[in-house]
Amino acid sequence: MNSQKVQGGGLWNSTRPNISSETQNLLKVMMQESKLTNFQKRTLSNHVKSGTSLPTRVAPSFSIVDKKPEIPKPKRKTVDPREHKNGLRKLEEIVNSGAYEKSDYKPTLRKAITDDDKEKLSKIMAYGKDAAKWPQIKNVPQEEVDYESEPEPDRFDELQDEIKERVEFLETMTKLGKRKEYQAMIMTEISQKIREMELLDKTRIKELEELKRLRNNI
């Protein structure tokens, strides 16, 4: 079996791919147009020339190092064991410290809120002014009307006037040559009103007889 010489490379000797000159020129133009510091431009140029992968982030200066902000640790409260044996104090020490003394503070007494105060506050919130300070309108006494002095209309007289109006209307239609169109309707209305008058007042027989005669002469 003939042995052949294998070129350099292979699985265990992989070479980094070289970046083309066009890509290098494009990166240079982009770095010039971007707001990068000289240190950032120099770092990116070195990576391009060496063919290594470009970093995702470059510090503006070599002196800047990313540091995580330190969180201050809470201070522990120390207890002097000489002052508090086993963490407990004697009753005499507690009394002498004044822990059981009554305070001289007295709360100021306030006026109890009434329904009138609530209503006053609601009007101030709604109208911007206290309703009690508004000018009061005095009630002007109205003239009393004596309704009893006005006589109530007599239905009997009203019916009598309505009958006379219909008789006059029918006479007008007769002059215009339209008597036949309205005669039946007018006669029916007059009969209904006479019947109502008979029910209202049976004592006014003479007036009813006069109206009946007037109806018969139509």
> What are the backbone dihedrals phi and psi of residue 202, each rounded to the nearest 5 degrees, phi first?
-80, -10
Per-residue confidence band for 165, with pLDDT thresholds at 50, 70 and 90: very high
Residue 124 CB contacts under 8 Å (≥ 6 apart), including other chains: 130
pLDDT in tens, 64-77: 445 556 677 766 65
Average pLDDT, the chain: 71
pLDDT in tens, 177-205: 988 999 999 999 999 988 888 887 766 66
Regarding pTM above 0.85, the answer is: no
Output helix, strand, coil percentages for the chain, rounded to the nearest 5. 50, 0, 50
Contact 208, 198 (CB under 8 A): yes
> What are the backbone dihedrals phi and psi of residue 145, each rounded to the nearest 5 degrees, phi first?
-100, 130
Burial of 163 (0-12, 13-18, 19+ CB in 10 A): buried
Q: What is the DSSP letter of 106?
A: -
> What are the backbone dihedrals phi and psi of residue 59, each rounded to the nearest 5 degrees, phi first?
-65, 150
CA 116/CA 199 separation, integer angstroms: 62
